[in-house]
Amino acid sequence: MSHDTQALQTREQIDPHIMEQVVMGGDLSKLTTKQRVSYYNALCRSLGLNPLTKPFEYIKLDSKLVLYARKDCAEQLRTTRRVSITDIETETLGDLLIVTAYAMLPDGRRDADRGVVYLKGLFGDQLSNAHMRALTKAKRRVTLSICGLGMLDESEIESIRGAERVESDGPTVNHKPSGLDQWQCTRPTAMALLKVCERLKAAKATDEQIKAKLPPGVTSRKDLTEEQAKQLVNELQALYFELTRHQSEEIHEGEVIDAQI
């Protein structure tokens, strides 16, 4: 019996048949809300993940309630487990774009996994986004694989017919992912970017000034990679300080003119 299962049973006694469903099939539907929280926290502890960032979410799949890994999970695992993406290979097979990502751990162990997207009928920004999705899928899949997590990744959920996302308190609901779930960068970086944009708007910055800071070829903030988003945050913060400094100088000059009059 695993350490996580022992920890869960210690906190609250669970019917052995239900526990077998959890351990063997990953079905959490028979657990109470309290039991699911215990299992969730135990899983996060075993992987060194922060449960407050919600690295996992629930999904109802083939009548089973299972966990899938959100993008925050892969990002944290790459940092805590020191996963290095060593190489990326891209190939086109008919209308399919196949991206293979290779990863390595500090002990030398290696792994590889693929991200596949359908390209037929796509062009322009849609085609560009499809290429980024394939790369994202490959990197997340190989991260989960090399860390020993055989579960679905967030980037795969939309392609699974009949899958239903489930709220953390248990009831099944049909809803679309939140806006930030569509961003390529991590949620904290996306929130930091939105916050600095709000500050710029309050400082009377124009949309053109903000859009001018986007990297070449990128037309939407949600398509930014983690590195690009962080760089954009820094550039927009610099723009904010520049605008507020000029505004402060103009106010000061106005005060001097009024005093002279």
Tens digits of per-residue pLDDT, 173-195? 333 445 666 677 877 788 889 98
| Six token digits for residue 66 | 């299972």
Those residues with Cβ within 8 angstroms of residue 52's Cβ, 6 or more apart along the chain or in another chain: none
The predicted-structure confidence for 37-85, as pLDDT tens digits, reads as follows 888 888 888 888 888 888 998 888 877 888 889 888 998 999 889 999 9
The predicted-structure confidence for 89-134, as pLDDT tens digits, reads as follows 999 999 999 999 999 999 999 999 999 998 988 888 888 888 998 9
Strand intervals (E) in the chain = 56-61, 64-69, 84-93, 96-104, 110-118, 164-166
User: Alpha carbon 113 to chain centroid distance?
Assistant: 18
- Side-by-side strand order, sheet with 110-118: 84-93, 96-104, 110-118
- Can you give the pLDDT at residue 86? 94
Higher pLDDT, 170 or 42: 42
The predicted-structure confidence for 203-259, as pLDDT tens digits, reads as follows 888 888 888 888 888 888 888 888 888 899 999 988 888 888 766 655 445 544 444
d(CA 170, CA 36): 9
Q: What is the pTM of this model?
A: 0.56
- Can you give the pLDDT at residue 173? 34
Range list of H helices, 87-225: 125-146, 154-157, 187-202, 207-211
- Can you give the pLDDT at residue 178? 52
Domain borders along the chain are 3-68+163-177, 82-146, 182-260
